[in-house]
Amino acid sequence: MSPSSAAASLSQARAHAALASPASITPAAPGFDIPLGADTVRVELTAPATLHVQFRKAGHAAAPTIVIDPALQATSRPGADVSHDTNGARLHSAQLEAVWDKEHGELRIGVPGQAPLLRQFALPSLAHGRLSLIHAKGEPMYGIGGFDATEPATAGLLRDGYRPVTAGEQGHAGAPFVWTTAGYGVLIDGVGGQIALGDTRIDARMFDGGLDYYVFLGNPHAIFGALAQVSGRSPLFPKWAMGFTNSQWGIDEKELLDIVHGYRERHIPLDNFTLDFDWKAWGEDNYGEFRWNEHKFPDGDSGKLKALLDAQGVHLTGIMKPRIHVDTVEGREATEHGYWLAQSDPAPDYFSGKTVRELDFADPAAREWFFNAALQHSFETGIVGWWNDEADDVAVDLQHMDMQRALYDGQRAISDQRVWSLNRNFYLGAQRYAYGIWSGDIRTGFASMAGQRQRMLSAINVGAMQWGMDGGGFKGGTPTPENYARWIQFGAFTPVFRVHGELGQHRQPWVYGTDAEKAASAAIRLRQSLIPYIYSYEHKRRATGVGLVRPLLFDWPNDANLRNDIDAWLFGDSLLVSPVVEQGQTAKPVYLPAGEWIDWFSGRHYAGGQTIEHVADATHWSDIPLYIREGAIIPVAPVMDYVGQHPLSELAVELFPADHATGFDYYDDDGKTYGYEQGEYFLQSMRLEAHGDSVAFAIAAPQGSYQPALKSWLLKFHGKPARAVRSNGRVLEAFASADALRASDDDGWAVGEDRFGPVTWVRVAAGKGQTVTLDVVK
């Protein structure tokens, strides 16, 4: 993007962000002003470890861009001491210190009692959109941007040199945000620019005059928590979106129902089917871009198809394009009201062959018009998810964000049903609009599949936590059975689990032969059994800013082996996965960080801090390198054909006690509506710790007003077997076996064996606070 078009984009960003309630930190934050002639730089502590440095032209702050949450608030004033003297000013709190050294023209930022983490000189350059920060030599840097679908991703996660700040195209995720495991992150309020990373410098240039920025101090979890606080938290996806999605281009109603039947008769879980061009009357007049194709889907417009699929637990997502046909009723309306994007010219559409043009989604009136009566009817008759494609072709960083903003605002205005979307790029701030990203039109094959690891983790490193890909690859033909099976295993441990292919391609497991079907189906079923675990991290992402998937360096920031590791990642707090991505691989090295790890499938224990060798099945592809972290707390449900097929009255929890305390917040709600925003949820915090000859497991009293079907927990303590079990000090009844315990409706316990070794089963009531104590065999 050129500086001039980027400046226009940023001006739009500030303008339409200002239409919402302006960003504010209330009550007033402690800080000081640095005079620069008629201008000032305001330095404020807006949260205990967050510093806001803002250039104010003639004392007036510029409106924040859409990167900043319009609803940004602080619940309380952070405590800090502010002092002034002839040498400058100082802001000091328990977690952060900022010092203005007037003599040297230097702003120093860091942790009290330690050397500064960042030093800023030349403060007047902020007026020209330039920022220079000095840091210690050799700190690893992350963020700024990921990779597009065709760009070599060999750089991995680390960032250095010149980096454009852009949403980019085809799966690219970008943000004006750079961070390091050295203990800080820097967020610039701007859209479009460039950041240059040197060995000791962060130099940023934004294309629109004055500049302000935020500094977040802490470990990676704290940094991303602060990022979510400032840029905005993501609403929850519907619970069905945690399951498996089959996308297909080239389909009609009959084939759709046949495919759904194929999943159901094989008991392969399926929650969502995503339709390409086929679902809509693309190219037809009278709002064809927004309504059902009655020839391919004769029962779509009446709602009959929706009823058929609802009965089988399948939701529909439909593709949406940023352009409409010019010579139509809707096209003439767009012309009359000025809804066209200036950067877009009329051109022949590659699919219909007719003239189309792109809409200007930065215009609030165009966004409101886009969710029109025809699209509302399509939503009401079954298109309940949005797949926003190709809004990244016009070099406007916010086009995809604003397109989804139109759908998010439109749906929320008429329905309490949760919004779900996939989009082909990401710019920070989009997460506020129920925004998922997929990695674009990728190729089939092992090399393409392997490259998705760094694409996913790099996107997550700029705040795009809800990431997915076209499992099996979009273009390049049909993947081999081995490639397909391994891709499904990979996808089962990503935030958005889906498959897709180009026109005429099929991505159902049974298309690829018996071995591939068996391996892929097992991975899909494993994913489905982990829905209670996965959905709890849906809540955690909203609450803390860190989602289901994260690079290992988030939890082991000081391990040099992980600085650029893309081969494995955490799936929640308790699981590490390192999928097989090489053809015919028989032995895969896997680096396990510090701690103790247990193979999910074999139960074998490994000490961390070393590279182990996973023996891979190169014939039937039946294995997934998946490891359990010591202290793990993992709820596991019976496998269902779709989310919510049966009520969960009892839920098993796999527990792996460690000699240090670990925790897990179990979360549930209705999975469908926004009732959770009014407190309609069920949240129980769990804590686990081994103490020599005893194990303590505490369940807090539940929070929230939602009442799930859950009546009891079936706790599975792995390790030394129990010789006595108490709940809140009361001795529980011992049963002869786990089967006897399951056959009873009473609380109690039993011992036995499973693949992990000795196990103690304990049943206790859900929905109340209690402590379970095991006296274990020495």
Nearest to 114 by CA among 132, 99, 133: 99
Residue 4 has a pLDDT of 40
Report whether 535 contacts 242 (CB < 8 A): yes
Nearest to 344 by CA among 368, 328, 363: 363
Residue in the structure block whose two tokens are 């396990």: 592
Torsion sign over Cα 410, 412, 415, 417: positive
Q: Percentage of the chain with pLDDT > 90?
A: 93
Mean pLDDT of 136-162: 96
Q: Percentage of the chain with pLDDT > 70?
A: 96
546-556: burial string, b at 16+ Cβ within 10 Å, e else = bbbbbbbbbbb
385-420: burial string, b at 16+ Cβ within 10 Å, e else = bbbbbbbbbbbbbbbbbbbbbbbbbbbbeeeeebbb
> What does each C-alpha distance from 390 to 154, 169, 424, 567 come to in angstroms?
25, 8, 7, 30
- Whether residue 284 has pLDDT greater than 60: yes
> What does each C-alpha distance from 403 to 359, 366, 493 come to in angstroms?
9, 10, 28
- Whether residue 7 has pLDDT greater than 80: no
Residue 24 — pLDDT band, cuts 50, 70, 90? Answer: very low
Beta carbons within 10 angstroms of residue 94's beta carbon: 12
Residue 263 — pLDDT band, cuts 50, 70, 90? Answer: very high
* Burial of 370 (C-beta count, 10 Å sphere; 0-12/13-18/19+): buried
**Plot region of 462 (φ>0 → left; ψ -120 to 50 → alpha; else → beta):** alpha
**Plot region of 445 (φ>0 → left; ψ -120 to 50 → alpha; else → beta):** left
- Whether residue 2 has pLDDT greater than 70: no
Mean pLDDT of 34-59: 95
pLDDT one-digit tens code per residue, 302-344: 999 999 999 999 999 999 999 999 999 999 999 999 999 999 9
Residue 149 — pLDDT band, cuts 50, 70, 90? Answer: very high
Report whether 129 contacts 207 (CB < 8 A): yes
Residue 778 has a pLDDT of 84
Looking only at the bridges linking them, the beta strands covering 244-248 and 212-217 are unpaired
CA distance 483 to 488: 9
CA distance 627 to 647: 29
Nearest to 497 by CA among 454, 476, 539, 528: 528
Mean pLDDT of 214-224: 98
Report whether 204 contacts 192 (CB < 8 A): no
- Whether residue 9 has pLDDT greater than 70: no
Residue 13 has a pLDDT of 54
Residue in the structure block whose two tokens are 């070393």: 610
CA distance 716 to 652: 7
- Whether residue 1 has pLDDT greater than 70: no
Residue in the structure block whose two tokens are 């089939």: 444
What residues act catalytically? 389, 392, 441
Residue type, 687: R
Question: Of the ranges 63-67, 254-258, 532-536, 580-584, which one carries the lowest mean pLDDT score?
Answer: 63-67
Q: Which residue spans within 265-314 are E strands per DSSP?
A: 272-275
Residue 668 — pLDDT band, cuts 50, 70, 90? Answer: very high
CA distance 390 to 386: 13
Beta carbons within 10 angstroms of residue 101's beta carbon: 15
Alpha helices in 353-471 (DSSP H): 364-370, 373-380, 399-414, 446-460
Which secondary structure element, helix H or strand E, spans residue 421, and what is its range? strand 421-423
- Residue-averaged pLDDT of the chain: 95
Residue 680 has a pLDDT of 98
Residue 763 has a pLDDT of 97
Residue in the structure block whose two tokens are 């919004």: 419
- Whether residue 38 has pLDDT greater than 90: yes
Question: Of the ranges 53-67, 293-307, 354-368, 642-656, which one carries the lowest mean pLDDT score?
Answer: 53-67
Nearest to 53 by CA among 223, 210, 231: 210
CA distance 249 to 256: 11
Q: Which residue spans within 608-681 are E strands per DSSP?
A: 610-615, 626-629, 633-636, 650-655, 662-668
Residue 75 has a pLDDT of 64
Mean pLDDT of 283-291: 98
pLDDT one-digit tens code per residue, 187-213: 999 999 999 999 999 999 998 767 899
Beta carbons within 10 angstroms of residue 647's beta carbon: 9
For residue 477, give the 3-state DSSP assignment. coil
Residue 572 — pLDDT band, cuts 50, 70, 90? Answer: very high
* Burial of 250 (C-beta count, 10 Å sphere; 0-12/13-18/19+): middle
Residue 23 — pLDDT band, cuts 50, 70, 90? Answer: very low
